[in-house]
Amino acid sequence: KFTPRVFSGIQPSGALHLGNYLGAIRRFAAMQDKGMETIYCMVDLHAITVWQDPADLAQSTRTLCAGYIAAGVDPEKSILINQSQVPEHAELAWVMSCVARMGWMKRMTQFKDKAGKNAEKASLGLFVYPALMAADILVYHATHVPVGEDQKQHVELTRDIAAKFNHDYGVDFFPLPDPVIEGTATRVMSLRDGSKKMSKSDPSDASRINLMDDADTIAQKIRKARTDFDALPSEAAGLEGRAEARNLVNIYAALSDRTLDETLGEVGGLQFSEFKPKLAELAVAQLAPISDEMRRLLADPAEIDRILAAGARRARDITGPILGRAYEIIGM
């Protein structure tokens, strides 16, 4: 009943990193190239759940747009938008926050992680963020949502919200979207702490490889990445209990488009002093063309703004009718 349609988004709140690239953007480009209908978003309304400096937000949105394009998302093939320029996202979010239950929101682990100990001081927006994310997806009738593992719970919540809407109003209006979480890099970990994911919001810049880092910085961050002292194993089972080693091997595997076992077939037996320079060389070779292209695109911010304005027009041809029909179903 529903045509396959892909939606995903990234927050314009700080530097794009290797986790965003391997876990998200690179896969966005791959789905586009398979000929699927794809819509990719800079989710600025999500970014402001935590205070953002206004000048930084505008610049981060352009940088993110440049990152998408540099990594292979083609604004002709995909619809590329900034969330706040497509007002139907926020309008449907209100409906979704009336459908979702408080208890469902309270179970979201990301709120607990992001709000920290002082949850009473977190913004209300940070708490209801998953209702906005549900609207982002459902306002396109999207069926597939490529994300990293950290977003799985939110996509499952989106399914619950869609199902409840359909049930409450006796319709089969919203599809139940599937999270698409595949490959060796669905959860790239911090270079400084193998128990935390690599994240934009980590205060330690050494914890992540930013897409815009230069070659020396990338090499230095990898050289200083935390590890144990054993040689790499030749089979995946040997990575058990070695979170940091597993993470670096996973990154190597993802960057070279191979499975973990194929990768260990090559690098098994190496010491970190031998493996890290190989990893750095591969990371630089893959990321340098992307950061060069990002810099080239960012030299013409007006062109990026034009791309986003055109994307918003195309998006609203889809979101306008879907929101209109949702309101009709509700009796508005």
For the annotated catalytic residues, the residue numbers are 114, 197, 200
Of 20 and 78, which CB lies nearer to ligand ADP in the complex structure?
A: 20
Rounded CA-CA distance 317/295 in Å is: 31
Residue 85 interacting entry, from Na ion, ligand ADP, none, C-beta within 5 to 8 Å by type: none
**Token pair recorded at residue 269:** 């037996």
Q: Are 73 and 305 in contact (CB under 8 A)?
A: no
Shortest reach from residue 24's CB to ligand ADP, in Å = 4
In Å, what is the CA distance from 70 to each residue of 67, 79, 145, 242, 274? Answer: 5, 15, 21, 33, 30
**β-pair type (79-82, 5-10):** unpaired
CB of 27 to ligand ADP, least distance (A): 9
Among 11, 82, 143, 247, binds ligand ADP (CB under 6 A): 11
CA dist 296 and 309 (Å) reads 20
Which residue has the CB atom at the shortest distance from ligand ADP? 23
Asked if 298 contacts 290 with a C-beta cutoff of 8 angstroms, the reply is: no
Residue nearest to Na ion (CB): 150
Question: Residue 34, annotated ligand binder?
Answer: no
Write the burial class of residue 20 (CB in 10 Å: 0-12 exposed, 13-18 middle, 19+ buried).
buried
Q: Return the number of the residue (90 or 231) whose C-beta is nearest ligand ADP.
A: 90
What does DSSP say about strands 79-82 and 144-146: parallel, antiparallel, or unpaired?
Answer: unpaired
Q: Which does 197 bind (CB under 5 to 8 A by kind): ligand ADP, Na ion, none?
A: ligand ADP
For 6, list phi and psi in degrees, rounded to 5. Answer: -105, 130
For ligand ADP, which residue of 5, 6, 7, 19 counts as binding (CB under 6 A)? 19
Q: Cα(64)–Cα(166) distance, rounded to whole angstroms?
A: 34
Total residues contacting Na ion by CB under 5 A comes to: 1
Nearest CB to ligand ADP, comparing residues 20 and 323: 20
Q: Is 78 annotated as a binding residue?
A: no
Position among 128, 198, 232, 315 found at the interface with ligand ADP (CB under 6 A): 198
Instruction: Provide, rounded to whole angstroms, the least separation between the CB of residue 193 and ligand ADP.
Output: 12
Q: Report the site for ligand ADP in 127-156 (rule: CB under 6 A).
A: 147-148, 150-151
Does 60 help bind ligand ADP (rule: CB under 6 A)? no
Q: Which residue's CB is nearer to Na ion, number 109 or number 259?
A: 109
Ordered DSSP codes for 213-274: --HHHHHHHHHT----SSPPPSSGGGGTT-HHHHHHHHHHHHHTT--HHHHHHHHTT--HHH
**Residues in the site for Na ion, rule: CB under 5 A?**
150
**Residues in the site for ligand ADP, rule: CB under 6 A?**
10-11, 19-20, 23-24, 147-148, 150-151, 185-188, 197-201
Query: Where is the binding site for ATP, in residues?
Result: 11-13, 19-20, 148-150, 188, 197-201
